[in-house]
Amino acid sequence: MNAAHHSYRMSSHQDRAVRGRAGEAATRVIELNQPGVDGTAEHLRRARRRVADARRQLEAIQQGAAEALMGVARAHERTAEAMERHAARRPEKADLYTERAAYHRIQATIARTLALPEPGEG
């Protein structure tokens, strides 16, 4: 299998060579004639493709979440309207229903706010 498909785990002798002596900073030099260097460009192309795919998936998830939150906001708005109708029909409980309507309007506002894209994002 190509080295680009593996994680870059070093063998024990490579690990010792990289670590250096106690207290020294370790540096590993990759020689151009080392196996696996030829696959670097392909490895980078694949990595970039995976990142682009993951970004598209994340955007689709965010779009779905925003749509779901807008649905939640609409449901809270409908509930608030129902509470206001109850308040109009039941004057003795108008305060209770008005308070519940306000609660649902606040929840709708929160849901709509959460559905907005983050600042700096599309």
pLDDT-based confidence at residue 1 (cuts at 50, 70, 90): very low
Please give the Cα distance from 19 to 117 (Å, whole number). Answer: 45
| pLDDT for position 41 | 79
Q: Side-chain half-sphere of 18: how many Cα atoms within 13 Å? A: 10
The torsion region of residue 116 among left (phi > 0), alpha (psi -120 to 50) and beta comes to beta
**Three-state secondary structure call for residue 30:** coil
pLDDT-based confidence at residue 29 (cuts at 50, 70, 90): low
